[in-house]
């Protein structure tokens, strides 16, 4: 996946997280923090879902809604 597509996907996820009614403010904050780390460190996109699932199972649904499921 190109770096541009990778960043675009992360931005879509951040927007969805901020607007989520299913996540607590703490989960939103932790998620945004992790996403910012991924952008900075350019981590592999495949690890994103695994790490976010540690915060909430909701991310499996969110990724599917965004068309980003593995």
pLDDT of 30: 92
In a domain, 48, yes or no: yes
Q: What is the pTM of this model?
A: 0.58
Using a 10 angstrom Cβ sphere, with 0-12 exposed, 13-18 middle and 19 or more buried, the burial of residue 67 is exposed
In a domain, 52, yes or no: yes
User: With 60 as the cut, is the pLDDT of residue 70 above it?
Assistant: no
Per-residue pLDDT tens over the stretch 1-58: 556 677 788 888 899 999 999 999 999 999 999 888 877 666 665 677 788 888 898 8
- Structural domain count of the chain: 1
CA-atom Rg of the chain in angstroms? 11
In a domain, 70, yes or no: no
In a domain, 15, yes or no: yes
pLDDT of 25: 96
pLDDT of 27: 94
Domain extent, residue 36, equals 3-65
């Amino acid at each position: 996946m190109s770096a541009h597509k990778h960043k675009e996907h992360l931005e879509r996820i951040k927007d969805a997280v901020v607007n989520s009614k299913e996540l607590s403010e703490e989960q939103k904050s932790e998620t945004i923090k992790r996403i910012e780390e991924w952008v900075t460190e350019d981590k592999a996109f495949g690890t994103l879902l695994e790490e976010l699932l540690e915060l909430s199972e909701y991310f499996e649904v969110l990724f599917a809604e965004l068309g980003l499921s593995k």
